[in-house]
């Protein structure tokens, strides 16, 4: 329906312009639907503005800084070398700004009405928007897609400021503290630890569970811990943050064993809370649509991203499925295509790639060895070290490995777990193998370019049958 015929009505209303929301809006428009998208703060969401994209720019800065300061001599870089965080930080903000502007451009290109302001449902088919320019408008819609995202968790009683921070405060500051405690060792925790340590910050990670990156395979966690020790990053695992007190010159963090026992204190300039996310559902009038969050605050959806109310869909972090930008994007496409009467392929969450951009990087898909065994598989595991890979040696980054988990009976790949140089770029062929049921033999006989890091995948696949050449 053209907007000219019904200027304040849309076939699809999208609430939130993060990776899921703006992708859903574009796909719906491509399918001939009229679309309005409402965003109150960040076009492109947390990801483009203060998350995925600017952190990758900062991590690139950190990679270069680490290269010249820690490994410069091996590459013939001598003399006085100065690394300036503020300059690299400005580059990260420029990258974020360009990407966010790109989302606005795509809305215009696809004839999507983009409304800046806070949208709140006032009925099953209406939303009132308090616009950024002070005006109030009301939109009606046939279908709605809720893409409101999530907010970082904060420990009870803590107030976020320039000393007790979430990723947002740290990534928007043009300087780093001299010392930093990082609470949590998920993707955000280990990525910011990498960035800060590369620029000389004294970093201590406090992790409640018994190992770093606890959602990854145990072997990956152990390799990351070794690499972080070499970079001077301290880790306290199996440790809980009990209390934080601000002092005149920083914070005093009280920590204790997670299972109970005598505690200790850590003094630092700042504390980064990297404890995960809570769904962002308050203040949007969801009750007016008939949609109710579940007991954990997330919005339940089916395989088509439909909520309990048939014409209302939800995608991204607010669903609590997997809090990853690429999951939100695919969910957005599924929702839009379902609304348009298509029958999209359901999302296989077991085949979703997981990428963490610390140094060394972590990439994984599918089951760990322990998970596969728990599900009753007869498991065969092959591990190929980057120390035996020519490209990794040439890069001067030979730590880490590719580990494949296969069904011993069928040879099908059950999971892949990697830690090492640029391993996030090695994920696509492994996701393809997991999604479409390729065997380790098929992966092994596929020719990989030499020299390349991807040869480690090939040789790990060969290792399942005992035919790996270089180990």
Report whether the peptide linkage leading into residue 455 is cis, meaning its omega lies within 30 degrees of zero. no
Strand order of the β-sheet with 354-356 is 354-356, 361-366, 413-420, 401-407, 379-385
Q: From the candidates 243, 326, 417, 450, which is the catalytic residue?
A: 450
**What span, in angstroms and rounded, lies between the C-alpha atoms of 46 and 322?**
16
Nearest CA to 307 out of 320, 296, 291 is that of: 291
Nearest CA to 83 out of 174, 203, 178, 200 is that of: 200
Residue 468: count of CB within 10 angstroms of its CB: 18
Token pair of 346, please? 């359901």
- Cβ pair 298, 257 in contact under 8 A: no
Q: Show Cβ contacts of residue 105 under 8 Å, excluding neighbours closer than 6 positions.
A: none
- Cβ pair 61, 91 in contact under 8 A: yes
- Is 243 among the residues known to form the active site? no
Token pair of 85, please? 């965080």
Angle at the Cα of 293 from the Cα atoms of 287 and 295, rounded to 5 degrees: 135
| Catalytic (active-site) positions | 450
């Amino acid at each position: 329906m053209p907007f000219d015929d019904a200027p304040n009505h849309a076939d699809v209303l999208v609430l939130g312009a993060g990776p899921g929301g703006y992708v859903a809006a574009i796909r719906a428009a491509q399918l001939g639907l009229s679309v309005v998208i409402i965003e109150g703060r960040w076009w492109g969401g947390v990801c483009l503005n203060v998350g995925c994209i600017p952190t990758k720019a900062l991590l690139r800065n950190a990679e270069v800084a680490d290269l010249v300061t820690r490994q410069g001599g091996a590459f013939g870089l001598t003399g006085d070398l100065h690394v300036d965080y503020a300059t690299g930080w400005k580059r990260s903000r420029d990258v974020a700004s360009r990407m966010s502007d790109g989302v606005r451009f795509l809305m215009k290109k696809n004839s999507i009405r983009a409304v800046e302001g806070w949208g709140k449902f006032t009925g099953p088919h209406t939303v009132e928007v308090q616009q950024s320019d002070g005006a109030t408008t009301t939109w009606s819609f046939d279908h709605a897609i809720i893409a409101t995202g999530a907010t970082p968790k904060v420990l009870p009683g803590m107030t976020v400021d320039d000393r007790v921070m979430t990723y947002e405060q740290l990534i928007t500051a043009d300087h780093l503290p001299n010392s930093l405690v990082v609470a949590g060792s998920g993707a955000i925790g280990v990525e910011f630890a990498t960035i800060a340590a590369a620029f000389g910050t004294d970093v201590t990670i406090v992790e409640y569970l018994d190992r770093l990156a606890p959602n990854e395979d145990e072997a990956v966690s152990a390799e990351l811990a070794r690499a972080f020790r070499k970079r001077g990053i301290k880790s306290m695992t199996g440790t809980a943050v009990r209390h934080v007190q601000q002092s005149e010159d920083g914070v005093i963090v009280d920590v204790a064993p997670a299972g109970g026992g005598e505690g200790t204190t850590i003094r630092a300039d700042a504390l980064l809370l990297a404890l995960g996310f809570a769904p962002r559902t308050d203040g949007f009038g969801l009750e007016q649509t008939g949609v109710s969050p579940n007991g954990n605050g997330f919005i339940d959806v089916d395989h088509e991203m439909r909520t309990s109310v048939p014409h209302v869909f939800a995608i991204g972090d607010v669903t609590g499925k997997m809090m990853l930008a690429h999951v939100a994007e695919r969910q957005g496409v599924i929702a839009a295509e379902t609304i348009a009467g298509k029958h999209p392929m359901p999302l296989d969450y077991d085949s979703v790639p997981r990428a963490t951009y610390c140094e060394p990087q972590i990439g994984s898909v599918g089951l760990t060895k322990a998970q596969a065994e728990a599900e009753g598989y007869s498991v065969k595991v092959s591990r190929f070290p980057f120390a035996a890979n020519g490209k990794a040696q040439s890069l001067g980054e030979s730590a880490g490995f590719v580990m494949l988990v296969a069904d011993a009976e069928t040879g099908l790949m059950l999971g892949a777990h990697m830690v090492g140089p640029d391993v996030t770029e090695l994920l696509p062929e492994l996701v393809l193998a997991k999604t479409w049921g390729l065997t380790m033999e098929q992966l092994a006989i596929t020719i990989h370019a030499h020299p390349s890091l991807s040869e480690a995948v090939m040789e790990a696949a060969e290792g399942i049958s005992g035919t790996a050449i270089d180990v």
